[in-house]
Amino acid sequence: MYHRLPERIRAHASICFMALILHRVMRMRLREGQTGLTPERALQSLKRIQHHRVSINGAQPLSGVSTMTTELSQVLKALKVKTPTQTQQLSLL
């Protein structure tokens, strides 16, 4: 990255620092939770969580969260993040 304005240099450095802190906190919590996952693998798994909102032929929209697997629940628990809750879970087609 090339920045020449001081405020942009500071902003970029701040974002990098926050990313480093988040990575280390994730790594620490995943180790404490004994998941055996790296932060990269955990994020790759968490990408599977999707929020769906579907409306067919003008009907009332149906919304929900993709089905949570045991692995995803364990990762969220280890990271001390609340599991997404919806009244309805939708399975991926």
Over residues 55-77, the mean pLDDT reads 85
Mean of the per-residue pLDDT values of the chain? 87
Asked whether 67 and 51 are in contact (CB, 8 A), the reply is no
* Angle of CA points 87, 91, 93, to nearest 5°: 145
pLDDT of residue 90: 54
Cα-to-chain-centroid distance, residue 10? 26
Q: Model pTM? A: 0.70
The enclosing H or E element of 52 equals strand 51-54
Q: Is the pLDDT of residue 93 over 60?
A: no
Domain boundary assignment for the chain:
6-80
What pLDDT does 88 receive? 57
Q: Distance between CA atoms of 31 and 57, rounded to whole angstroms?
A: 48
